[in-house]
Amino acid sequence: MSAGTTKKPARPAAPRSAAAPKGSEQRVGRRAVSERGACAARPSTSSRGSDPHERLRRVLFLVPYAVKHRGITVKELARKCGITEKVLLEDLDFLLGVGSPPFAPDDFLDLYVEGDAVHVALHQSFSRPPRFTESEAAALAAAAQALGGEGKDRALGALRESVPRDRRAAFDELAGRIYAGSPPARDSVLGRLQRAIAERREARIRYYTATREAESERTVRPWTLAQRFGHWYLYGFDLSRAKPLPFRLDRIRECSVTEQRFEPPSEAQLEKARLFSDDQGEPVRIRLGPLAAAWALSRPGVRLVERTGDAGAVVEVAGAREDWATRFALSFGGDAEVIAPASARRHFCETIKRALARY
């Protein structure tokens, strides 16, 4: 491509800005954008920011999002797109050059920053994002399959309909190429929890507590579902204990949605929210033989303390309860033992003694 044959004219920024009613403000904003992006060879901050394909996907969302949320701040829009403010301003600068033939002034996209707010004067039909690509829909479908729930098939059906017609076969195939885990609870239990969350209603659950080995009835304001180390949890405010607590989904035996509505948790409450207490106590230490070491070290949350002479290892797991540590060590079939702290060692040895008595 030689520059001489290019028909597309450069964006006529100055005359348009001057002609616009709020010209002075716009110019300030626009200059702010162009100045930051003005250096000829713009080195981008991150590889993600400079990847042209990623940029295209991003701006196809960014433009309609800014159209929908008029005056959104640069900071908020950058956060929503998962990029730095600098990269966002580069994106806005790039978009000023986008338009369609015959490339008259009104044929270009027109976005500007005024104060700290992003405005879209001309969106050139990019007023809504494109349909899901097959990999977007397949990733979401895999996540939904792994969670489950009564509405799963309806949700997957709607997702499929939102992929361009030509790409649905590719979506079907790709969705069958990822399996993100088996659903953590019965569909009916999950379906009701999802409804309770979406409608902000209190839920009554029958819950198995592992430490007490007993079931109890609880009334919970379900705030959300979250996943950690391969397990799913309901996180919400337990009314009888008067504090937010996690409930493992695979220990919820029954669930019913009540008529009682609740206010959403405040940002401050969610800010403080943790699935597990920060005060994790002393980490558990486990000595592993060579075979067990290879497996254990590929698990999340397991930290290597030292290699032992026989290609084994000593590892640490933070925040683990004694019964968990015992079971974890035993899952290596004799090739691992809990060594510290003393109380965890004792739990391990006593469990072995009792288990041996069965044989």
Partner 1 sequence: MQKAERLLDLAAFLLRAAEPISWHEIQEQFPGDYGGSAEAAVRKFERDKAELLELGIPVRWSSSDEDLPPGYVIDRDEFYLPNLELAPEDLALLYLAGSAALAQGVFPYARDLAHALNKLSFAARAPGASETAALAARNLSRDEHGNGSRAGEGSIARKLEELSGAVAAKKRVHITYQGAERRARTERDVDPYGLYQSGGAWFLVGHCHLRDDLRTFHLARIEDLRRNTASPRTPDFAVPPGFELRELATRETWEYAIHPPRHCTVRLESPVSPEARASFGARARLRDEPGGVVVEVSATNAEALVRHVLALGDRAEIVAPRELRDSARSILAGLARRCA
Give residues 9-48 in contact with partner 1 (rule: CB under 8 A): none
* Binding residue for partner 1, selected from 70, 130, 188, 281, defined by CB under 8 A: 130
Cα 30-32-33 angle, rounded to 5 deg: 65
Q: Which residue, 32 or 163, has its beta carbon nearer to partner 1? A: 163
* Binding residue for partner 1, selected from 18, 22, 179, 240, defined by CB under 8 A: 179
CB 222 within 8 A of CB 193: yes
Does residue 128 touch partner 1 according to CB under 8 A?
A: yes
Place of tokens 């940029």: 55
Report the C-alpha gap between 95 and 80 in whole angstroms: 18
CB 279 within 8 A of CB 238: no
Report the C-alpha gap between 147 and 194 in whole angstroms: 11
Q: How far is the CB of 179 from partner 1 (least distance, A)?
A: 4
Interface of this chain with partner 1, residues 265 to 324, rule: CB under 8 A = 265, 270-271, 273-275, 278, 290-291, 294-295, 297-301, 303, 311, 323
Nearest alpha-carbon partner for 99 in 3, 12, 24: 12
Report the C-alpha gap between 289 and 309 in whole angstroms: 10
Interface of this chain with partner 1, residues 39 to 98, rule: CB under 8 A = 52-57, 59-61, 64-65, 68, 80-82, 94, 97-98
Report the C-alpha gap between 341 and 339 in whole angstroms: 7
- Using CB under 8 A as the criterion, what x/- string covers residues 137-156 for binding partner 1? xxxx-xxx-xx-x-xx-xx-
Q: Which residue, 219 or 351, has its beta carbon nearer to partner 1? A: 351
Q: How far is the CB of 240 from partner 1 (least distance, A)?
A: 21
Q: How far is the CB of 115 from partner 1 (least distance, A)?
A: 24
Tell me which long-range contacts 268-272 makes (C-beta under 8 A, separation of at least 24). 269/244, 270/223
Does residue 218 touch partner 1 according to CB under 8 A?
A: no
Q: How far is the CB of 21 from partner 1 (least distance, A)?
A: 24
